[in-house]
Amino acid sequence: VQVVESGGGLVQPGRSLRLSCTTSGLTFGDYAMSWFRQAPGKGLEWVGFIRSKDYDGTTEYAASVKGRFTILRDDFKTTAYLQMNSLKTEDTAVYYCSSGSMIFGVVRYFDYWGQGTLVSVSS
Amino acid sequence: DIQMTQSPSSLSASVGDRVTFTCQASQGISKYLNWYQQKPGKAPKLVIYDASNLEREVPSRFSGSGSGTHFTFTISSLQAEDIATYYCQQYENLPITFGQGTRLEIK
């Protein structure tokens, strides 16, 4: 299984950025896809996830990003996306994508992770 | 939100030592707890899920236990390659939350 994030970079506050998470070797449609972030020198923070189509592809978000970030998935392309709008300096972090194992719609654990992509928000 | 508190924040031990650290939840989370290992500059890696289940291909020297609010992570015989920061994570309630991490170093 491979999980590869892309799309990170330097962006000004208030602008938008879209991250991609491309997978291979994974039964993509069976998994929730989640995003996490890690600010420099800090711990892990959950950003949000999108459930599988079996659960209508519903989404959940952390309060810190709700209304600004949107997670999407394309099962045909086995790719997930993180659309980030109205970026703030405090959104600066390495962003990780991971597959989430679900049962009855509950995302239990995150077993396959990408290497991360750095997003820097600065003027 | 459920707060996860790990202790100690850092730990120094020798190769071959038995190492144990803990994770405390601010409210009961049954066994809905996972442990991740993160080496410097790398992505997290799932080690233990549902408090005590060893992820596939993870060495058997790693183990986890606990339920409710108190959880323990143990390495039975520390190896040099185990140097990393370890995070606990709960999924009883949203938002998913992590502990602040325990940084494990070689003495």
The phi, psi pair for A107, rounded to 5°, reads: -85, 115
pLDDT of residue A43: 97
Cα of A13 to nearest chain B Cα, Å: 25
Q: Does A20 or B107 have the greater pLDDT score?
A: A20
pLDDT given at position A105: 87
**Closest chain A CA to residue B47:** A111
Residues facing A4 on adjacent strands: A22
- Where do the DSSP E strands lie in chain B? 4-7, 10-13, 19-25, 33-38, 45-49, 53-54, 62-67, 70-75, 84-90, 97-98, 102-106
* Smallest Cα distance from A109 to chain B, Å: 7
State which residue of chain B sits closest to A34, comparing Cα positions.
B96
Q: Is the pLDDT of residue B15 over 90?
A: yes
Per-residue CA distances from A112 to A24, A61, A79, A118 (Å): 11, 20, 14, 18
Asked if A50 and A59 touch (Cβ cutoff 8 Å), the reply is yes
Nearest CA to A77 among A33, A47, A110, A116? A33
Structure-token pair, residue B33: 């707890």
Q: How far is A74 from chain B (nearest CA, A)?
A: 23
Contact assignment for B97 to A46 by CB distance below 8 Å:
yes
CA gap A103, B75 in Å, rounded: 28
What residues form DSSP beta bridges with B106?
B13
> Chain A residue with minimal CA distance to B91?
A108
Give the Cα separation of A63 and B74 in Å (integer): 33
Check: CB of residue B104 under 8 Å from CB of residue B97. Answer: no
B95 upstream amide cis, omega within 30 of 0: yes
pLDDT in tens, chain A (123 residues): 999 999 999 999 999 999 999 999 999 999 999 999 999 999 999 999 999 999 999 999 999 999 999 999 999 999 999 999 999 999 999 999 999 999 888 899 999 999 999 999 999
